[in-house]
Amino acid sequence: MNHVLTSRFYKYFVQVLLFTGLTLTGVKHSATPVAVSAPSHIVFIEDSFDEALKQGRLQNKYIFVDAYATWCGPCKMLKARTFADSKAAEFYNKTFVNVSIDMEKGQGPQLARQWQLTAYPTLIIFDPKGKPVLGSVGYIGASDLIKFGQQALKK
């Protein structure tokens, strides 16, 4: 008889532990909200001006082009500092279709000739139809990049 009571007790005890553990686990997971945060960097379409134009037309947004070369030091600084700035990222991700193009591969050399680029980085903003609105050559900081974008939107 003592063995039966002990066996029932353990069975009950295990059930209570399992139930409590599952309940606490469930409460813990359901009580923890899943935060969806905005990217802390500018999100670019890579090496496809055609796709950026398509998206610009569909979303009726201006297109921001980062024309770079892999060997270019100021281009690397733009990516590491300016494009990684949370305020610049928030403004550009919300306002523009962003495209980053390696001007020495794929579509890049043809676009470099068409746009008559002679130095990198070159930043260009196009209207949704693909007409250039404003350009800048060389490294610029995040606050100047935001001003550059705001200036293009006024044109």
Give dist(CA 55, CA 126) in Å, integer: 12
Kindly tell me if the per-residue pLDDT of 59 is higher than 70. yes
Q: Are strands 45-46 and 62-68 parallel, antiparallel or unpaired?
A: unpaired
Residue listed under structure tokens 């350009």: 135
* Residue 146 CA: distances (Å) to CA of 8, 88, 98: 70, 6, 13
Q: In what order do the strands lie in the sheet with 96-102?
A: 45-46, 96-102, 62-68, 122-126, 132-137
CA nearest neighbour of 114 among 155, 65, 62:
65
Of 82 and 155, the structure prediction assigns the larger pLDDT to 82
* Residue 36 CA: distances (Å) to CA of 33, 41, 50, 101, 122: 9, 15, 30, 28, 32
Kindly tell me if the per-residue pLDDT of 3 is higher than 80. no
Residue 39, pLDDT score = 85
**pLDDT interval class at 22 (50, 70, 90):** very low
Would you please indicate which residues are annotated as catalytic (active-site) residues?
Answer: 72, 75
pLDDT digits (tens, 9 = 90+) for 36-53: 667 889 999 999 999 999
Residues constituting the chain: 155
Give dist(CA 104, CA 110) in Å, integer: 9
Residue 36, pLDDT score = 60
**pLDDT interval class at 17 (50, 70, 90):** very low
Least confident of 18-22, 63-67, 76-80, 85-89: 18-22
pLDDT digits (tens, 9 = 90+) for 90-120: 999 999 999 999 999 999 999 999 999 999 9
Q: Are strands 122-126 and 62-68 parallel, antiparallel or unpaired?
A: antiparallel
